[in-house]
């Protein structure tokens, strides 16, 4: 592709991204983007493919959906993927973080209203069949509660911002009465405040709103080589016989070899990644992911200090045969890193693409943000295949209620 043909593509990309964001997404520096924009140099073919990937949503919405859903506290769309795979179509999205908005939009497009903060915005929510919400977990997570306690800050429902967001969900459920909902949070939600927090949630959903509700703690490790327990709460407007016990959770044991970059020559060059994460000529992960000598020494001392104190803080070293601990939203910040052992050299951190795979995201999922933001986004997300399975067993019940409501509405019209 000649320079004159590439420039309009770059101009379209710069209409959606800043030069810094585009450079980060393509693994180059800002000056290189400026030279491309000016027509001084022409990008490599894989960069052109990456530009096209950034401008065309990788996951087009279902054109003939079987049901509709809304995606609240959407993050980067981990729950959405499952319900689109089941035949649903998203009709409304809310996500407050601007970097997550960027990743979400690049991968799903914007064919419906997409707002930031959902607080006080229930009047903007359209009718829908299913409400999805991975509402903020920090007020209830073990790490979040510990941190807030140490700082003397409130947590759970006493958190003045995140803790009250469940009640925004309540207001939308009360107003729109969708046939079903799915909520996701950390395992600790069930035990937070001696179980009182969970009791409040269930009382609101069952007694105040009249939904029939099921909950279950599911380990994402059934689908990826990562121990990651999360609570799934699903409800319907009426009894349907639905049970989360019907989830089919694979017993196969994946290892890190399933998600790590392959150094035997079989790693696939993804046009939207290029060589940001993997050096294909040397068949190795880019050198920047290997720990510096000083950082490796610091992490070893950090882990030793906490072992001596009798707690488990510190890095977790894995190899191709291992399974990992839970990927944190603070990955590579708090000393609890998942580090990959390397023969004859210091360990390295995971690349963002490996984090995506660890969370069950497909390789065509585009990562248009910096490594720092990507680590936060995947650490905050869900193990996507879990919600493919949740949506699979919910779908027949969603459609049954939808058909029943359609028949009832038709009968009411005839009577009138």
| CA gap 260, 340 in Å, rounded | 9
Regarding whether 133 and 219 lie in a shared domain, the answer is: yes
Q: Residue 150 falls within a domain, yes or no?
A: yes
In a domain, 174, yes or no: yes
Q: Are residues 406 and 286 in the same domain?
A: no
Q: Are residues 154 and 42 in the same domain?
A: no
Asked, for residue 60, whether it belongs to a domain, the answer is no
Is 8 among the domain residues? Answer: yes
Both 260 and 342 in one domain: the answer is yes
Burial of 341: CB neighbours in 10 Å, binned 0-12, 13-18, 19+: middle
Q: Do residue 305 and residue 367 come from a single domain?
A: yes
124 & 169 share domain: yes
Q: What is the pLDDT of residue 416?
A: 55
Residues 83 and 199 in one domain: yes
Q: What is the CATH number of the domain that holds 297?
A: 3.90.120.10
Which range of residues forms the domain containing residue 197? 67-247+385-413
Spatial contact of 226 and 220, defined as CB atoms under 8 Å apart:
yes
Question: Which CATH number do you get for residue 21?
Answer: 1.10.260
Helix (H) or strand (E) holding 165: helix 165-176
Report if residue 318 sits inside a domain.
yes
152 and 212 co-located in one domain: yes
Q: What is the pLDDT of residue 47?
A: 76
Tokens of residue 140, six digits: 């209830």
DSSP character string of 204-256: IIIIIS--EEEEEEEEGGGTSSB--EEEEEEEESS-----GGG---------G
Which CATH number is 227's domain given? 3.40.50.150
3-state secondary structure 1-63: CCHHHHHHHHHHHHHHCCHHHHHHHHCCCHHHHHHHHHCCCCCCHHHHHHHHHHHCCCCCCCC
**154 and 84 both lie in a single domain:** yes
Tell me, yes or no, whether 369 lies in a domain. Answer: yes
Q: Show the tokens assigned to 343.
A: 């023969």
Handedness of CA 283, 288, 289, 294 (dihedral sign): positive
73 and 103 together in one domain = yes
Phi-psi region of 223 (alpha: psi -120 to 50; beta: other; left: phi over 0): alpha
Instruction: Give the CA distances from residue 402 to residues 18, 174, 182, in Å, rounded to whole numbers and listed in that order.
Output: 43, 18, 16
- Domains of the chain: total: 3
pTM of the shown model: 0.85
Q: Tokens 């009138």 belong to which residue? A: 416
Under 8 Å between Cβ of 53 and 276: no
Q: Which residues fall within 8 angstroms of residue 114, CB to CB, at 6 or more apart?
A: 92, 93, 94, 95, 101, 104, 105
Report d(CA 159, CA 153) in Å as an integer.
Answer: 8
> Are the C-beta atoms of 182 and 130 separated by less than 8 Å?
yes
Q: Please, which residues bridge with residue 348 across strands?
A: 290, 340
Residue 90 annotated to the active site: no
Active-site entry in 10, 132, 137, 318: 137
Using CA atoms, how far apart are residues 356 and 145, in angstroms rounded to an integer? 26
- Looking only at Cα atoms, what is the longest distance across the chain? 80
Q: 225, 187, 258: which is closest to 338 by C-alpha?
A: 225
Q: Which parts of the chain register pLDDT below 50?
A: 1-3, 139, 141-149, 151, 154-162
Same structural domain for residues 77 and 217?
yes
What is the secondary structure of 123-136 as a DSSP string?
Answer: GGPPP-SEEEE---
Same structural domain, 31 and 88: no
Task: Give dist(CA 127, CA 346) in Å, integer.
Answer: 54
Q: Is 314 helix (H, G, I), strand (E, B) or coil?
A: coil
């Amino acid at each position: 592709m000649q320079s004159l043909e590439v420039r309009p593509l770059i101009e379209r990309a710069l209409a959606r991204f800043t030069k810094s964001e585009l450079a980060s997404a393509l693994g180059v520096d800002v000056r290189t983007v400026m030279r491309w924009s000016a027509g001084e140099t022409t990008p490599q073919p894989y960069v052109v493919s990456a530009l096209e990937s950034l401008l065309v949503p990788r996951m087009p919405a279902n054109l003939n959906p079987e049901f509709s859903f809304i995606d609240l506290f959407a993050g980067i769309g981990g729950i959405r993927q499952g319900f689109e795979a089941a035949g649903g179509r998203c009709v409304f999205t809310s996500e407050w973080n601007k970097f997550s908005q960027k990743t979400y939009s690049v991968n799903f497009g914007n064919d419906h209203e997409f707002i930031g903060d959902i607080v006080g915005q229930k009047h903007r929510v359209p009718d829908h069949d299913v409400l999805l919400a991975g509402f903020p977990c920090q007020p209830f997570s073990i790490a979040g509660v510990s941190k807030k306690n140490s700082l003397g800050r409130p947590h759970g429902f006493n958190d003045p911002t995140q803790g009250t967001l469940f009640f925004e969900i309540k207001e939308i459920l009360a107003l729109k009465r969708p046939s079903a909902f799915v909520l996701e949070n950390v395992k600790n939600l069930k035990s937070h405040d001696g179980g009182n927090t969970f009791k409040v949630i269930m009382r609101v959903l069952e007694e105040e709103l009249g939904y029939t509700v099921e909950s279950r703690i599911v380990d994402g490790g059934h689908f990826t080589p990562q121990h990651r327990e999360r609570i799934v709460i699903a409800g319907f407007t009426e009894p349907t016989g639905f049970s989360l016990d019907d989830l089919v959770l694979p017993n196969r044991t994946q290892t890190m070899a399933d998600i790590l970059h392959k150094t035997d020559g079989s790693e696939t060059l993804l046009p939207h990644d290029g060589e940001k994460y993997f050096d294909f000529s040397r068949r190795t992960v880019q050198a920047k992911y290997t720990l510096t000598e000083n950082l490796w020494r610091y992490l070893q001392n950090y882990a030793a200090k906490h072992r001596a104190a009798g707690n488990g803080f510190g890095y977790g070293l894995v190899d191709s045969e291992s399974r990992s601990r839970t990927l944190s939203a603070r990955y590579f910040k708090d000393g609890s890193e998942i580090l990959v052992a390397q023969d004859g050299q210091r360990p390295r951190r995971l690349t963002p693409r490996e984090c995506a795979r660890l969370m069950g995201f497909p390789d065509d999922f585009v990562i248009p943000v910096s490594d720092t933001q990507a680590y936060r986004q995947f650490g905050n997300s869900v193990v996507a295949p879990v919600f493919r399975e949740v949506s699979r067993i919910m779908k027949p019940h969603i459609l049954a209620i939808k058909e029943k409501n359609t028949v009832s509405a038709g009968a009411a019209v005839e009577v009138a």
